Structure formats: structure tokens, C-alpha cells
Amino acid sequence: MEQTLRVRLLETEELALVQALWRAAGLPFHPEGRDSLEAMAAEAREGRTFYAGAFDEDRMVGVVLGTDEGRKGWINRLAVLPEARRHGVAAALVAFCEAEFARRGRGLVCALVEDWNDPSLGLFQREGYALRKDILYLRKSLKGEEW
Ligand SMILES: CC(C)(COP(=O)(O)OP(=O)(O)OC[C@H]1O[C@@H](n2cnc3c(N)ncnc32)[C@H](O)[C@@H]1OP(=O)(O)O)[C@@H](O)C(=O)NCCC(=O)NCCS
């Protein structure tokens, strides 16, 4: 697969495929909230968010959402189809995000990973991300808990 793998930005019309891939990968997301097709398209139009897909031939096998917050780049919602795992797909998507953030002038790239998610923790550390255990995540929804 490595030879044929290609990562590219996705078009708005392809966002439904992103949701389908998240489902197939078992990635929790918010289809009624910030991951609704409308919210995803609006976010992408706004310019700081990009969606990228990894393709094996014509088949999309992995996706990622990159967010340029202006100071840092964030890697979100990274997911690879179960049958395509351990072939470097996620690593290629992370590399794509890093190149995109570098192009936009960002010097730092980050990700939030749940503490039980060993595959994701293994991936990011292998790609050179330092694990900070001294930071706790606080958040507040202004649009309701499910958003
Ligand atoms: C995490 C995930 C995206 C990794 O995708 P992947 O394409 O299999 O990852 P890669 O093949 O690029 O892995 C690169 C490296 O990451 C590490 N890694 C990946 N999966 C791992 C696992 N299950 N256990 C331990 N380390 C793992 C390894 O170091 C691996 O290199 P190796 O295969 O040479 O040992 C995938 O398991 C997934 O989609 N999980 C469900 C959704 C999810 O949890 N997403 C992350 C949200 S933060």
C-alpha cells in the first residue's frame, strides 16, 4: 500500500465520506453538532480548517482534520480504516498536516489524545511528538454539551 498511498486535501463534496470513514474506524464524533456536514463545510470555508484524505488507489483509507488556530496547528479526528492499519497511513496523514501547517507559518503542531488510546499515543510519539503529562484539558461548551 505504501507505494500507492496518496494524501490530498478533500473537497466539501467529500465530507460525507469523512463521516463514513470515522464511523467505520470507530472514532467517536458529533454528527449532530460540530461534526455535522453543515458545520464541517462552514468550518472548511472559513479557511483555518482543512480535511485531508489518504487514498490507496481510489479508495479513501484514512482521514484527518487540521486546524490552524493562528499560533499552533492542531491535528484532530485522525482515523484509518481497521483493515488498512499498520501500513503508515496515519503517519502519512500526520506528515501532510505538518507540511500544511509549516506552509502556513506555524511552528508547533499538537494533538489531544485520550489516555487509553495506545495506538494513537504510539503513533504520535513515534512521529516525534513529546508527551506532556503535566497538562490537563479543560473545556466549556457554549452551544450545549453535544455540540
Ligand atoms: C491511531 C490510528 C489512526 C493509527 O493509524 P495507522 O495507520 O495504523 O498508524 P501507522 O500505520 O501510521 O502507525 C505508525 C506507528 O504508530 C504506532 N502505532 C500505530 N498503531 C499502533 C498500535 N495499535 N499500537 C501501538 N503502536 C501503534 C507504531 O509505532 C506504528 O509504527 P509500526 O507499525 O512501524 O510499529 C488508528 O489505529 C485508528 O484509526 N484508530 C481509531 C481512531 C483513533 O483512535 N484515532 C486517533 C484519535 S486521537
State the pLDDT at residue 135. Answer: 96
Please state the rounded mean pLDDT for residues 69-90.
98
User: pLDDT averaged over the chain?
Assistant: 95
**Residue 147 alpha carbon to ligand 1 centre in Å:** 27
Centre of ligand 1 from the C-alpha of residue 119, in Å: 4
| pLDDT greater than 80 at residue 146 | no
3-state secondary structure of 142: coil
Alpha-carbon gap, residue 94 to 96, rounded angstroms: 5
Q: How far apart are CA 109 and CA 107, in angstroms?
A: 7
Nearest CA to ligand 1 atom 5: 90
Question: pLDDT tens digits, residue range 53-65?
Answer: 999 999 999 999 9
Q: How many angstroms separate the alpha carbon of residue 142 from the centre of ligand 1?
A: 32
Question: What's the whole-number mean pLDDT along residues 26-41?
Answer: 95
CA 108 to centroid of ligand 1, rounded, Å? 21
**pLDDT beyond 70 at 42:** yes
Q: What is the pTM of this model?
A: 0.96
pLDDT of 75 reads: 98
**Which range, of 18-22, 30-34, 113-117, 141-145, averages the lowest pLDDT?**
141-145
- Return d(Cα 130, Cα 39) in angstroms, integer: 31
Q: State mean pLDDT over 22-36.
A: 95
What is the CB < 6 Å shell around ligand 1? 25-27, 78-80, 85-91, 113, 117-120, 122-123, 126
Confidence of residue 2 (pLDDT cuts 50, 70, 90): low
In contact, 6 and 54? CB cutoff 8 Å: yes
86 CA: nearest ligand 1 atom: 11
Q: Is residue 3 scored above 90 in pLDDT?
A: no
List the residue whose alpha carbon is closest to atom 4 of ligand 1: 90
Percent share of the chain, pLDDT over 90:
94
